[in-house]
Structure 1
Amino acid sequence: MPLSVLPPVIRAVIAVSLAAAVSCAPGASSTPADPGEADAPDRSPQAQHETPARTVVVLTFDDGLARQARAAELLRKHGLTATFYVSSGLLGEPGRLTWRQVDELARAGHEIGGHTLSHARLDRLPPKEQRREICADRRALTARGHDARTLAYPHGAAGPETARIAAECGYLGARAGTAKKPENADPFAVPVALTVTADTTRRAMERAVLAGERRGGQVTLVFHDVCADCGEYAVDPAALDGFLGWLAARRARGTRVLPMAQALKDAGIVAGGSAGAAAPTRGPDADAPARR
């Protein structure tokens, strides 16, 4: 007999009975859905980049090149600071920053570090000449009013005596070359996560930071010239601008961006000394090189 011809009360009883039978069937569950399922962890690729440990990114610019003034503008735009490693004996030469520009970088909050007097490849020099290159360079910077607490070995190369000499010259630490063990805690062999070249994409820079966030610790990036299609070791200003904007936003996730000396001190790798750079004041002869 069709259900439609049955009285309404009978139809209601049949409907309830059928529902009860279904709920008791094998495989059926009477437990309500877990309300927490809607809040399950996000497994998206972006979620996997959450910072698991304290990460510090150190942006370094080598050689004191004139076009790094553009980098300073972009850093200011995004509220970031960096470390500029300069060879004091080359400042003021064509294509190089002037002393006045270096002073301005320090006043903007950037660290000024040493890069030897003449950008010498230290591993090819006898200890006496290494000492002259490292110590005279630092004396020139400190005479100008810069703290010069860290050194970057030109070409990332150092001999067996170089670290000791650098320490004796007054440095707290030194940046070395690209290393397979970026967690190295030797203050005089700070490894580089990525040296940016003309072929380095913005995404590659971001990946270096994300890898560091997963690992925790320090991520050091090295830049040289700042221009489009002008050399092997150059970064396009547009790519740098985009990367710095992205990096600035990572601070909300706990990633910090610090100059080298401050990063080493905060990590407990070095002690003492003063981080950052002093803001020097000079008179009309501000572009004159310091006496060495």
Structure 2
Amino acid sequence: MIKTRRRSILLQSTIALTGVLLALSAGTFAAQAATPVVRSAVPGPRTVVSLTFDDGNADQVVAEQVLKANGLHGTFFITTSWIGQPTWLTQADLHTFAADGNEIGGHTVTHPDLTTLTSAQATAEICDGKTTLASWGFNATDFAYPFAAENASVESIVKGCGFQSARGLGDVRSPASCATCEFAETIPPANPMDTAAPDEVDSTWTLQNLQDVVTNAEANGGGWVQLTFHHIAVGTDPTLTISPPLFNQFITWLAARGATNNTVVETVSQVIGGQ
């Protein structure tokens, strides 16, 4: 099967960050994904959706507020060298996210294609990113490959750096690709160091596309669906962006699935950790 690997386009957001930032004291690990998982009482195949956000764009604050309003939690994969720079999240944002029950994960130091680096260089990118997050108070246990680029050597390095899982892209049936792929990843995944996920969400995705990824999994035996977002904004990166109203519509719809279908939202750590 040919894997579809979508390349992230790293353009700066023009959306200004607003709101009150919650500063927590450094030196202690922030509680990540501490909120107990709410299980659906509806019978049938169980579907788990993980809402993941890559890079650390400042407009992801909008997404976190929508998740909080709906009682849901996501996983934010952070490229550490960008944090605190213009149009990117701050350490205070990350602490706010973690305090609200979200997971903070690793996404390297500078977001390179890890398969193009030497073993030593890849190790520095992966392990140093995790160490930096630890110095900020976050115990990052899950990882996402920049550009979804990985191989057996990179997988081994990620595991050696202490991560329990690593997410790829394009290996689950998506609106515009991988028509013969499975509808969801298995729980537990066959290879935790290369977990399967649909293509990253971009400006071509409609509300129906987002809903179909979930309902198709529900109708085909359930499993794990990891959705990947970058910008939640208007007027920024035209490729890796969905609008706040569309995101809000989808999350509101998704939050209700537990009452009508055996579908829940969990962080990556909650799925991999088996909570």
Structure 1 stretches of 4+ moved >6 Å: none
Deviation at 1:51, TM superposition (A): 7.1
Whole-angstrom distance in 1 between the partners of 2:116 and 2:195:
20
Deviation at 1:160, TM superposition (A): 2.5
Out of 185, 195, 199, which is 2:204 matched to?
A: 199
Deviation at 1:61, TM superposition (A): 0.4
Equivalent residue, structure 1, for 2:225: 219
What is the percent sequence identity of the aligned residues? Answer: 33
Whole-angstrom distance in 2 between the partners of 1:194 and 1:209:
13
Structure 1 residue identity aligned to 2:253: W
Out of 234, 237, 261, which is 1:228 matched to?
A: 234
Equivalent residue, structure 2, for 1:70: 62
Out of 255, 260, 263, which is 2:271 matched to?
A: 263
Whole-angstrom distance in 1 between the partners of 2:57 and 2:250:
20
TM-score (norm 2): 0.76
> Aligned with 2:196: secondary structure?
strand
Q: Deviations over 1:88-139 (max 9, x none)?
A: 1111111110111111111110000000001111111111100000000000
> Aligned with 1:112: secondary structure?
strand
Whole-angstrom distance in 2 between the partners of 1:116 and 1:175:
13
The unaligned stretches of length 5 or more in structure 1 are: 1-49, 268-292
Deviation at 1:199, TM superposition (A): 1.1
For the Cα contact (< 8 Å) 2:44–2:262, is it kept in 1? no
For the Cα contact (< 8 Å) 1:85–1:114, is it kept in 2? yes
Q: Deviations over 1:214-267 (max 9, x none)?
A: 231100100001112422100110000000000000011221100001112228
- Indicate how the Cα distance of structure 1 residues 104 and 98 shifts in structure 2: closer, same or farther if over 3 A, else same: same
TM-score (norm 1): 0.72
For the Cα contact (< 8 Å) 2:60–2:231, is it kept in 1? yes
Whole-angstrom distance in 2 between the partners of 1:224 and 1:133:
20
Q: Deviations over 1:31-89 (max 9, x none)?
A: xxxxxxxxxxxxxxxxxxx9731110000000100000000111111111000001111
> Aligned with 1:177: secondary structure?
coil
Q: Deviations over 1:126-167 (max 9, x none)?
A: 111000000000001112221200000011111321111111
- Indicate how the Cα distance of structure 1 residues 167 and 219 shifts in structure 2: closer, same or farther if over 3 A, else same: same
For the Cα contact (< 8 Å) 2:52–2:76, is it kept in 1? yes
Whole-angstrom distance in 2 between the partners of 1:202 and 1:224:
16
Task: Quote the RMSD (CA, aligned, Å).
Answer: 1.5
Whole-angstrom distance in 2 between the partners of 1:258 and 1:193:
17
Equivalent residue, structure 2, for 1:60: 52
Q: Are residue 177 (structure 1) and residue 169 (structure 2) matched?
A: yes
Whole-angstrom distance in 2 between the partners of 1:224 and 1:51:
33
Name the count of aligned residue pairs: 218
Deviation at 1:194, TM superposition (A): 3.9
More helix by share: 1
Equivalent residue, structure 2, for 1:31: none
Q: Are residue 92 (structure 1) and residue 90 (structure 2) matched?
A: no
Q: Are residue 109 (structure 1) and residue 101 (structure 2) matched?
A: yes
Whole-angstrom distance in 2 between the partners of 1:213 and 1:127:
40
Deviation at 1:177, TM superposition (A): 1.5
Structure 2 residue identity aligned to 1:157: A
For the Cα contact (< 8 Å) 2:169–2:199, is it kept in 1? no
For the Cα contact (< 8 Å) 1:194–1:205, is it kept in 2? no
Whole-angstrom distance in 1 between the partners of 2:216 and 2:199:
11
Out of 151, 160, 179, which is 1:168 matched to?
A: 160
Whole-angstrom distance in 2 between the partners of 1:220 and 1:87:
19
Equivalent residue, structure 1, for 2:257: 250
